[in-house]
Amino acid sequence: MPKISAKGSAMPQSPIRKLVPFAQSAKSRGIHVLHLNIGQPDIKTPDSAIQAIKNLSLDTLAYSRTEGTDEHRSKVAAYYSSFGASVTADDLIITTGGSEALSFVMASLLDAEDEIIIPEPFYANYNGFAAANSLVVKSVTASIDNNFALPNRETFESQISARTKAILICNPSNPTGYVYTLEELEFLADLCKRHDLFLIVDEVYREFVYGENQFHSALLLEGMQEHVVVVDSVSKRYSMCGARIGYVVTKNKEVRSCIMKFAQARLSPPTLAQIASEAALETPPSYLKEVNTEYNKRRLVLKEGLSAIDGVRVSDPQGAFYLIAELPVLDAEHFSQWLLEHFEFEGETVMLAPAAGFYATKGQGVNQVRIAYVLKIEALKRAIRLLEIALNTYKKSYP
């Protein structure tokens, strides 16, 4: 019998989606599952994007240009200019979601067996993109003890070798909600210049920063134009996950030229979704302000509610719409599966994302979960109550 590739065998399962069959089984038994496992916003997509599709009059739904339409890229460039980034349409390539952007970037910057340094915990699919491109992930571990701040210089330096080509961060962070300070970004910039590395920054959650925290884009780092590659997406910003529109932004012409070759092989980004995404860029600032306010309310409710549960420890998310919670259990994946297979209260249960899959280092995060606060406040309060009851019940059987 023919065998699949070693690369395919090494491809990790998504920790966000691997429990889906258990959730489906629970639903088939009539149990209402409160989804805290996946970053699918419940926020309404801007009317401008929906109307752009409804009002469309086309005889043929044709390919667009490989790099995206001129009109779309120009509007995206104007968006970046609005916060001081000197970006032109020529600095942009439109991709089929941020996922394709990351995959193209990794394939363009690193060869097989090259190393990429990523602070962990990190977005689980970074492991998948690295495996698909036969790359080696070298992790530097951030800790809940200091809210997942960036590890120090010595920790980074210890992971740099002759095969190291890039550092990748997500700012604000999925899964921790941490927002990197300007000093931390400047430290990374210095590291990249000293060791001639690329700095890849996933800025998908740029608009979701709370309280006194401030977002600093890597596009504004001085002397880093040849090093910085930014990955972005409309999925979370405009609640358009299904549109599958992302961006790669870089001033490095050689990098753009290489990415274009990968982009040409997949022909073009989706034409219909570009029309919707271009229209979304015309959404008034009040939309994002209202969304930010709503997520901040949810953040505070979730943090306060979880912190009140005996034995639960939570990070202080400063951005995005996720937090890491450390649970009083030995195995958070077992607990998460148990929630779907064996627990219900008043016809409801909760689905979580076990956090071990957000680490590259085995043994890290085994008692942690990532929680997405993408449910309305009343649903979040019910989920918190369910978790408290579930933990008390679970500990009786699995002390």
Q: What is the pLDDT of residue 193?
A: 98
Q: Assign 24 to helix, strand or coil.
A: helix
Mean pLDDT across the chain = 96
Question: Which residues are 350's β-sheet partners?
Answer: 34
Going from the C-alpha of 128 to that of each of 283, 351, 371, the distances in angstroms are 33, 22, 20
| Tens digit of each residue's pLDDT (9 = 90 or more) over 12-51 | 878 777 899 999 999 999 999 999 999 999 999 999 999 9
Domain boundaries, given as residue ranges, for the chain: 6-44+286-397, 58-280
pLDDT tens digits along 5-18: 888 888 887 877 78
CA distances, 19 to each of 5, 31, 163 (Å): 25, 15, 35
**Helix/strand/coil percentages in the chain, nearest 5:** 40, 15, 40
Question: Degrees (nearest 5) of the Cα angle 225, 114, 251?
Answer: 15
The residues, any chain, with a CB within 8 Å of residue 395's CB and separated by 6 or more, are 328, 329
Residue 143, amino acid: S
Q: Are 180 and 213 in contact (CB under 8 A)?
A: no
Same fold, 6-44+286-397 and 58-280: no
Asked if CATH classification 3.90.1150.10 holds for the domain at 6-44+286-397, the reply, yes or no, is yes
Residue 313's nearest CA partner among 349, 365, 351, 380 is 365
pLDDT at 230: 98
What is the value of pTM for the model shown? 0.96
Quick one: pLDDT at residue 18?
A: 84
For residue 348, the SS3 value is strand
Q: Which ranges constitute the DSSP H helices of 267-345?
A: 271-280, 285-307, 332-341
What is the pLDDT, as a whole number, of residue 8? 85
Which portions of the chain are predicted below pLDDT 70? none
Number of neighbouring beta carbons within 10 Å of residue 16: 22
DSSP class of 355 = G
User: What pLDDT score does 53 carry?
Assistant: 94
Topology at the third CATH level for domain 58-280: Aspartate Aminotransferase; domain 2 (3.40.640)
pLDDT of residue 14: 80
